[in-house]
Structure 1
Amino acid sequence: MRKHHFVLKGFADAQKIYVAGSFNYWSDKSTVMQRTDDGWKATVDTAPGKVQYKFIVDGKWITDPSNPVTVNDHGILTLWLQSANDSKHQS
């Protein structure tokens, strides 16, 4: 397993933010993010390789403004992260 650190800057007025993705079967409530001084964060254990994800800000699904967006096989905009030790995938 690898640790992925998700960070979302800003959103000071948000009540609750979650991160959903391939690591949690796109559950919109299972991975809550913690408020920080400059945004939100969560750390998730994942299998090595690419991880698809989106954030859910007060019920609204958004892409990560700090990471490039791709279109998945279903035509949906998603983002990819990679494990630091897995250089064969895009980050």
Structure 2
Amino acid sequence: MSLRKQWRPLERSTVGRAPDAYGLYELGDSDGTSLGFGIGVLRDELKEALAYGEPAGFEPTSTEGAGEPTQVRWERATSKAHAERLLDEHC
């Protein structure tokens, strides 16, 4: 289940505005198709996504026809455990 947030462009300005806190993030392609979810410190994870396309802890929803991540949305968590619970709810 996708996050109920608007997509933001995966670019430096967006990453710079991401919280320096744990959370759940969802990456999407240019068509708005979800590519999958990940958890971690949001700013760090999104920096890695911007640089490499996919952070180490990212869980793709499908590898078939997956495009490059160009969009992101996230939900801030209060702790790593909370972020893990959010991931369980959305995957």
Using structure 1 for the length normalisation, give the TM-score.
Answer: 0.33
Structure (1/2) with the larger strand percentage: 1
Using structure 2 for the length normalisation, give the TM-score.
Answer: 0.33
Structure (1/2) with the larger helix percentage: 2
